[in-house]
Structure 1
Amino acid sequence: MRYYIIAGEHSGDMHGADLIRQIKKIDHHADFWSCGGPAMSQAIGKPCRVDCGQMAYMGIDFLKKWYTLWRLLQFCQKNLISYRPDVVILIDYSGFNMKLAAFARRNGFQVAYYIPPKIWAHGPGRLASIKRDVDQVLSILPFEAAYYQNRGYHSIAYVGNPLVQKVAGHCINPSFIADNRLDKRPIIALLPGSRLDEIRRILPLMVAQADYFKAYQLVVAGLRALPTSLYTALCPSTVQVVYDQTYDLIAVAKVAIIASGTASLEAALFNLPQVVVYKTHPLAYFFYKKIVTIKHISLVNLFVDQAVVPELIQYQCTREKLCATLTHLLSGSSSQKAAYQVVRQLLGQKNAAIEAAKCIVTSIK
């Protein structure tokens, strides 16, 4: 069968690669047209038709990329018609993918959405579009299915969270510290995310903590998929960057500063104390405040419905407040680890990629 699969960012590329591998195990004649990154290209065995690296943006920075995204949408729509897949698989990246879902529906294609729009965060405005344009929603958050179902959308299933198997299956490098020439001081891990604009806004605040915590070494979780010059320009000589070794870094760190996103959940699965930070363009934040309906931004806090992970958002995200928060976490008085146990229980042990692949392949009409 023919699968048309779209992922718009680094995390979607990783999840898409796992999903593709599982689809290929079920459907030995599977053929793919894809928008993704290096992980999906490797899983398919040929380059993606569109490189998702040019699609990442954050908040108001969309204005800088709207023409590029519009051209990419036109390209994807044209190729959808010519490729004529058995199913369209959309992964996260809702602004772009919901437009593609509407186009696919108008042209009679079956649509599956893996990691759907977070309508529980922004209000149910998009639910009508999902009901109209999406045949099947595959969720990786245990509370999400009930939210959709309570609002009349029942073609949704919780398939498990891919981070559970990813973390459990990772073999920690016992020589990580020596391999990266780190010293004997305890480590504060800095996880600034995967979007260029996000890193430019948040990483300077993170590395500034080196001035306050000289008894610790600050280490950045970098990505080789991004320009190394980005990290070089933003990090002083006192802060080291390690590339594509995030889990090994998390495993040896004492505490982490994390840009809001899935890394918060990964840290929880490693039992690592953390503070979550978020900072965007002031205009984007103004509009977000108008539409966001949730009390917390950390996934850990959303799971347990209380503020166990400190969140420093926008104007609260300052060097001084981050220093005070880290000092508290390093004192060992945090109650985060008890919340992490609750998170593990809620996530369960389902293999998300396997379950999602089964749902997609068996539902093709």
Structure 2
Amino acid sequence: MQEKPKSVMIVAGEASGEMYGASIATEIRALAPETRFFGMGGGNMRKAGVETLVDADTMAVMGLVEVVAHLPVIVNGFNTLKNKLRSDLPDLLILIDYPDFNLRLAKVAKKAGVKVLYFISPQVWAWRSGRVKGIGRVVDMMAVLFPFEVPFYQNAGVPVTFVGHPLLDLVRPTMKRDEALSSLGLDPQRRCVGLFPGSRKSEIGKLLGIILESAEILKKRMPELQFVLPLASSLRREDLDPYLSGSKVEVRVVSGRNHDVMTACDAAVCASGTVVMEMALVGTPHLIIYKMSTFTYEVGKRVINVPHIGISNIVAEKRMVRELVQHEAEPVAIADEVDALLNDAAYATEMREGFAAMRVKLGSGGALGRVARLAMEMMR
């Protein structure tokens, strides 16, 4: 008697997570071609053959105030997945990051008797460490990116596997600097600054205007500079146009090819997020900025237990990359730091050496393949 094909629900809530979800689905299908996938994701997951019942692009918000304003959309998405989970029981639920949403869905799965594999741990080591016991009650296996995360779960009796960071495989620029600049329609003879304002509309609203003002300051200081901005897969060009149309600097907007864009840049301004780790792996000097609602910031200051917001700084256990958060993230301060990255050779070299040391800490590649094999073991 032939075994019934397995079904997997995959839930990812933002651009980086759904990129990983697409790769995990592809890896599982290579091991079990008949596997059926459904859940929440975006364009990458759809291309990988995942039926997306909820579009992740509509769910990507960060901050307490921002989430409250977006609550009806989030609740509707959650209910859609909850109902599907109960009516079409999958053999496994794979949750990727997006913790407040996904841990609630894990409770639903647990009650329904569905096993849960959680990839990209909630940052219990950074804030609300008491969550780890609750996680243990609803998650059957936690697959973590960093070795230092393992003891947090082991000490709480939660099954955990260190799989490594998927970006070690995914960050693969295809060109050298001059080639990348030429292919992007930029001048290899001029220095280039990358503008990475985030993948969420809320981040664009808070950060892009400030970043463009800093670009104007830099252009006055160094007229030869050129600027490039990669458009996140979760955004549309129209999301940027209100800001770009009012800017005094020309910015080349590029869709896709993020890693080639990073290679082309001599320095970059990055919103805190996955792009920070990508930038460090490429080896491009950069700074990290972030702004959120005043309420979210004040609450965060009181509950976060780590001295850095940039994950590359957290892994390195030192401030390799300058962080400008909230009121510090202003045009002149941003411009001053980019100026230093471009014109202080010793400073830029020290940062690159820090990136190389951090990469060693992350171990070998193959993370998403390990997640897929974990998933297969759990479905057996």
TM-score bin (small chain): over 0.9
Q: Are 1:95 and 2:107 an aligned pair?
A: no
Residues 146-165 of structure 1: CA deviation (Å, up to 9, x unaligned):
3322x323411111111111
Residues 202-223 of structure 1: CA deviation (Å, up to 9, x unaligned):
1111111222222311211212
Q: What is the alpha-carbon distance in structure 2 between the residues aligned to residue 271 and residue 356 of structure 1?
A: 26
2:174 maps to what in 1? 171
Residue 47 of structure 1: how far off its partner (Å): 4.1
Q: Are 1:185 and 2:190 an aligned pair?
A: yes
Residue 119 of structure 1 aligns to a residue whose secondary structure is: coil
Letter of the 1:209 partner, please give it. S
Q: What is the alpha-carbon distance in structure 1 between the residues aligned to residue 15 and residue 7 of structure 2?
A: 23
Letter of the 1:357 partner, please give it. A
Residue 128 of structure 1: how far off its partner (Å): 1.6
Map residues 76-155 of structure 1 onto 2, 5 A cutoff. 76-149=81-154, 151-155=155-159
2:243 maps to what in 1? 234
1:358 maps to what in 2? 373
- Taking a change above 3 Å as real, the CA distance of residues 6 and 270 of structure 1, as seen in their structure-2 partners, is same
Q: TM-score normalized by structure 2?
A: 0.91
1:247 maps to what in 2? 259
2:54 to 50, 55, 60: 50
Residue 175 of structure 1: how far off its partner (Å): 4.9
Q: How many residues matched?
A: 362
Q: What is the alpha-carbon distance in structure 1 between the residues aligned to residue 51 and residue 8 of structure 2?
A: 15
1:338 to 353, 360, 363: 353
Residue 350 of structure 1: how far off its partner (Å): 2.9
The answer as to whether partners of 1:142 and 1:158 remain within 8 angstroms in 2 is yes
- Share of identical aligned residues, percent? 29
Structure 1 stretch displaced more, 232-241 or 184-193? 232-241
Residue 288 of structure 1: how far off its partner (Å): 1.1
Structure 1 stretch displaced more, 32-41 or 171-180? 171-180
Q: What is the alpha-carbon distance in structure 2 between the residues aligned to residue 178 and residue 341 of structure 1?
A: 26
Residue 213 of structure 1 aligns to a residue whose secondary structure is: helix
Residues 280-339 of structure 1: CA deviation (Å, up to 9, x unaligned):
111111111122111001112101211111000111111121122122222123221221
Residue 27 of structure 1: how far off its partner (Å): 1.4
The answer as to whether partners of 1:3 and 1:87 remain within 8 angstroms in 2 is yes
Residue 142 of structure 2 aligns to a residue whose secondary structure is: strand
Residue 107 of structure 1: how far off its partner (Å): 1.8
Residue 41 of structure 1: how far off its partner (Å): 0.7
Q: TM-score normalized by structure 1?
A: 0.95
2:304 maps to what in 1? 292
2:77 maps to what in 1? 72
Residues 130-150 of structure 1: CA deviation (Å, up to 9, x unaligned):
11000000112232123322x
1:160 maps to what in 2? 164
The answer as to whether partners of 1:300 and 1:339 remain within 8 angstroms in 2 is no
Q: What is the alpha-carbon distance in structure 2 between the residues aligned to residue 353 and residue 234 of structure 1?
A: 37
The answer as to whether partners of 2:133 and 2:156 remain within 8 angstroms in 1 is no
Q: What is the alpha-carbon distance in structure 2 between the residues aligned to residue 302 and residue 147 of structure 1?
A: 16
Q: What is the alpha-carbon distance in structure 2 between the residues aligned to residue 153 and residue 275 of structure 1?
A: 38
Letter of the 2:302 partner, please give it. K
Q: Are 1:21 and 2:26 an aligned pair?
A: yes
Residue 143 of structure 1 aligns to a residue whose secondary structure is: helix
Q: What is the alpha-carbon distance in structure 2 between the residues aligned to residue 300 and residue 225 of structure 1?
A: 23
Residue 95 of structure 1: how far off its partner (Å): 1.0
